[in-house]
Amino acid sequence: MKRMFGFLIGIFVGALVGSTVALLMAPESGEKLRTQIRERGQNFMNDVQHAADSRKIELRGRLESLRAPREF
């Protein structure tokens, strides 16, 4: 458990350092870059929400078919 916690901390710190370096070395202005990151994040969240909604509809259909009385 201790090794897993250390690994997760390492991933978090690495991501933080990497994103900081990427922002500092970016060829575009800070405001434009932040706008692009915000738009990409919003698009990603919309995609995730759409996938979750589709999966929810699919699972509800399966649940209803399992709940339906069967004829023998």
**Single pTM value for the model:** 0.51
- 56 pLDDT above the threshold of 90: yes
Residue 63 structural domain:
2-67
pLDDT band at 3 (very low <50, low <70, confident <90, very high): confident
- Judge whether 72 lies within some domain: no
- Judge whether 36 lies within some domain: yes
pLDDT band at 59 (very low <50, low <70, confident <90, very high): very high
Cα 28 from Cα 68, distance rounded (Å): 58
Cα 22 from Cα 5, distance rounded (Å): 26
pLDDT tens digits along 5-50: 888 888 989 998 988 888 777 777 778 878 888 999 899 999 999 9
Integer CA distances (angstroms), 34 to 7, 13, 18, 26, in order: 29, 21, 16, 11
